[in-house]
Amino acid sequence: MLKTRIITAVFALVAVGIVLFALPPLYAEFVIGLLMIAGALEWAALLDTQSSTQRLIYTALVATAIAGAWFGITGHSELILQIACVWWVLAFLWNLRFPTPIPNALRWICGFLVIVPLFVALILLLRQGVEYLIFTLLIVWVADGGAYFAGKAFGRVKLAPAISPGKTWEGVVGGFVFVAVLATAVAIWQGLGIAVLVPFCLAVAAVSIVGDLTVSMFKRTAGVKDSGTLFPGHGGVLDRVDSVAAAAPLFVLGMNWLGLV
């Protein structure tokens, strides 16, 4: 299993490199859109329906919303990202109350709130500069990796046992330490204020945890472990982008508000 995860991770990193550095920007945006539509198809499987037709209809609706967001990205992107940030605050409060029943109609709506703003944020980051997108991904990956290793070594107190029993508060602290180190290094390298960049990156890391837990909450409600099988050993698209879905909108808004662009 570990070998499969490593091989998949290597191929995924190579694919990300090709998309970000080898493809023309328009093609890269198209690939990102396809990934988001694949995520929508996975979300459709979390809905309370066995009808393949309804799942395809849902996926088509999300795809239409993604296309609409792409065409209107210059005029409405900030509003979409602000709505996303409000959603993730509500999702955090929802996590505190889980397990609670999630009506199917609400699952339909939440899929749009997770996937469409993520698409918008990724496109904006890509257009701003590949380095911004990579930095966002690094924050999430470093937070996740740091949490994993710290949790394995020191984990005792469960973070959200009803949602993700493997996560611990010690892991969260470890992830934050790793992110703080990353942010400090980037601040020194780029000549940015450490007192600004470090808290900002910690906030992005914190909301990434909410994204992870929220998608896990929906998967638990649907009775599935992974959202899909696109990435052997890693699950589906949603399993890979759940943290980024919450982190990316905040990163885009924050870097504009703080003048980090």
With a pLDDT cut of 90, the percent of the chain lying above it is 67
Higher pLDDT, 1 or 190: 190
SS3 label, residue 225: coil
Beta bridge partners of 164: 160
Per-residue pLDDT band at 14 (split at 50, 70, 90): confident
Please report where in the chains the tokens 């919303």 appear, as a residue: 65
Please report where in the chains the tokens 């992870």 appear, as a residue: 212
pLDDT digits (tens, 9 = 90+) for 92-138: 999 998 888 888 889 999 999 999 999 999 999 999 999 999 999 99
Is residue 197's pLDDT more than 80? yes
Beta bridge partners of 158: 168
Q: Which domain holds residue 221?
A: 2-257
Per-residue pLDDT band at 20 (split at 50, 70, 90): confident
Does residue 83 contact residue 117 with C-beta atoms inside 8 Å? yes
Considering its fold, how many domains does the chain have in total? 1
Tokens of 61: 């609706």
Residue 231 confidence (pLDDT): 60
The whole model's pTM is what? 0.92
With a pLDDT cut of 70, the percent of the chain lying above it is 94
Mean pLDDT of the chain: 90
Residue 257 confidence (pLDDT): 87
